[in-house]
Amino acid sequence: MDARTVLSALRRGEALTPESAGWFGRALGTGAVTDAQAGAFAMGVCRAPMDAPARVALTEAMRDSGDVLVWDLPGPVVDKHSTGGVGDCVSLVLAPALAACGVFVPMISGRGLGHTGGTLDKLEAIPGYRVDVDEAHFRAVTAEVGCAIVSASAALAPADRRLYAIRDVTGTVESIDLITASILSKKLAAGLEGLVLDVKCGSGAFMKSRQGARELAESLVGTAAGAGCRAAALITAMDQPLATAAGNALEVAEAMETLTMAYVTSPLWEITVALGGEALALCGAAEDVADGRARIDGALRSGAAAERFGAMVAAQGGPADFLQTWRDRLPGTPVRRVVAPERAGFVARVETEALGMCVVRLGGGRMVESDRVDPAVGLARIAGLGEEVGPGRPLAEVHAASDADADMAEAAVRAAFTLGHEAQDPPPLVLGRVGP
C-alpha cells in the first residue's frame, strides 16, 4: 500500500477499503504521508464517502496513532461528547453526577470552536484550575474523585491533531466520515467502555438540519460500536442557548447553581438527566435508561454530584472550598447592561449562532487561535423560546469589559431575537435517539 495508490483510487471515485483507510490513518501518525497527500485524502473522502467498515478502520488507526489508556477501576469507564453549542455546560454537571453514580469519567475536553464554547475554557474561569495535568495526575483524579476533566495531551491521537489542522485549511472539515473519525479517535483513546453522544441540531449547532444530525449520530454510534465501544446518541435541539448564560465564568456559575440546587433551569437539567440516563444504561450501571435518569436526578438533588465537582476542582488545582465560595471566586466584568426588547412580545426565534459569536466578540472565545480568552464576559439571563419579554423581562444581560463592547453586544442581542405576538410552549429538547 502507498499514498499514490490510495489517492488515485479516490480520484477515480472508488470507495476506500478498510485496508486502505486503515493504512492512511496509520500513515498520518507515522509521517509516511505528506501534508499535501493528507489534504488530497481529506478532499477525496469528502467527494467519495466511506462505508462503515472503512470508517471503523480509519478511526481505529487514528486512535492507535498515540497512547491508548487502559484502566483498572472498580466500575465502568464512560464519557459524553457534544458536537458543540451555545450555553452548553452539560459536562460540568454531568461528569460529577455520573461519578456520584459509581462510574468513572476520564473526560478529555476541547476549547471553544467557532461560535461554540469549550469546556476547558469554562473550567479555566475557576482560579487555579489546571486542565493540562500529566497522565499520572489525570489517572489519580479519575480514580479518586470518579471524574477528571482535562485537555488532550500531544500523545493522544496525534494523527487526528495533524489531519484536523490540514482539514481546517483545505475546506474539508464538513465530512461526516472525517468528523466521526476525528471525534472518536480522541474519545476512544481514553479507553472508554461506553460513550454517550449529544448531537446538536439547529440555529446554534454546526448541523443545522435534522437529517444531517441524524446521519452524524448514526455514523458516530455505528463506528464506535465497530471499534468496540458501546455508544448511544441523542439528537438535541440547539435553537436557543441551552443554559440561560453563555460565557465561561457565567456558565460555571449556572452549573454551580444547578449542582447546588440554588437555581435550576429546565433545559440544562433535562439534557443532563437524559444523557446521564443513557450513559448509565449503556455501561450496565443502571437497569435501563429510566433507572439511569432517576439515578442522575437523585445524584443532583442529594448534593452528591456537587461534592464530586468540588473534589475535582480541588484535585485539579482550584480552591478547596469552591463549593462554598464560588460566588466570590469567579471573575466579574466592569460593565453590565440589561438589554430590554424594543417592544413587549414572546420569543419566537433566537439566532443562536449569532449569540455565540457575540460572546466570542466580547472576548469570551477566540477569533484566531492565539487570542486570550476573557473568562468573565458573556451573556446572562438569556430569554428562552416562547418566553414573554418586555419592561420586566429583558432579552439578556451583557457582561462586558468596556462600554464600547457592551454597545456592540446590545445591538447583536437585539438582532438575534425575533418576537411574536402569541405565547408558545417551549419546543421539545430531545429530537431523536440512535443507539442499541
- Residues forming the site for ligand URA (CB under 6 A): 164, 173, 179, 182-183
In terms of CB distance, is 168 or 287 closer to ligand URA?
Answer: 168
To ligand URA, the closest distance from the beta carbon of 107 in angstroms equals: 14
To ligand URA, the closest distance from the beta carbon of 161 in angstroms equals: 10
Is 200 in the active site?
no
In terms of CB distance, is 179 or 431 closer to ligand URA?
Answer: 179
Is 208 in the active site?
no
Residues 6+ apart with CB under 8 A from 324: none
Helix spans in 64-203 (H): 90-100, 119-123, 135-145, 158-170, 176-188
In terms of CB distance, is 85 or 341 closer to ligand URA?
Answer: 85
Is 122 in the active site?
no
Hey, which residues does 266 pair with through a beta bridge? none
To ligand URA, the closest distance from the beta carbon of 265 in angstroms equals: 26
If residue 198 lies in a helix (H) or strand (E), which one and from where to where? strand 194-201
Return the exposure string of 127-153: e unless at least 16 CB atoms fall within 10 Å of the residue's CB, then b: eebebebeeebbbebbeebbbbbbbbb
Task: Indicate which residue of 26, 80, 162, 295 is catalytic.
Answer: 80
Choose among 95, 194, 196, 89: nearest CA to 147.
95
Is 297 in the active site?
no
In terms of CB distance, is 81 or 308 closer to ligand URA?
Answer: 81
Number of alpha carbons in the 13 Å side-chain half-sphere of residue 334: 5
To ligand URA, the closest distance from the beta carbon of 218 in angstroms equals: 16
> How far is Cα 355 from Cα 363, in angstroms, rounded to an integer?
13
Task: Indicate which residue of 20, 59, 119, 272 is catalytic.
Answer: 119
Choose among 213, 124, 139: nearest CA to 176.
213
Helix spans in 247-344 (H): 248-259, 266-282, 289-301, 304-315, 322-329
Three cell numbers written together for 396: 439578556
To ligand URA, the closest distance from the beta carbon of 172 in angstroms equals: 10
Task: Indicate which residue of 115, 187, 214, 230 is catalytic.
Answer: 187
Hey, which residues does 420 pair with through a beta bridge? 346
Task: Please give the angle made by the CA atoms of 349, 352 and 353, to the nearest 5 degrees.
Answer: 140
Say which residue the cell 465564568 belongs to.
249
Is 175 in the active site?
no
Q: Residue 141 corresponds to which amino acid?
A: V
Please give the backbone phi and psi of residue 236, each rounded to the nearest 5 degrees, phi first. Answer: -125, 150
Is 151 in the active site?
no
To ligand URA, the closest distance from the beta carbon of 185 in angstroms equals: 9
In terms of CB distance, is 142 or 182 closer to ligand URA?
Answer: 182
Is 79 in the active site?
yes
> How far is Cα 398 from Cα 402, in angstroms, rounded to an integer?
11
To ligand URA, the closest distance from the beta carbon of 310 in angstroms equals: 29
Task: Indicate which residue of 91, 151, 182, 185 is catalytic.
Answer: 182
Residue nearest to ligand URA (CB): 182
In terms of CB distance, is 59 or 182 closer to ligand URA?
Answer: 182
Three cell numbers written together for 108: 478529555
The sign of the CA dihedral 205, 275, 179, 163 is: positive
In terms of CB distance, is 200 or 293 closer to ligand URA?
Answer: 200
Radius of gyration of the chain (CA): 21
Q: Tell me the catalytic residues.
A: 79-82, 119, 167, 182, 186-187
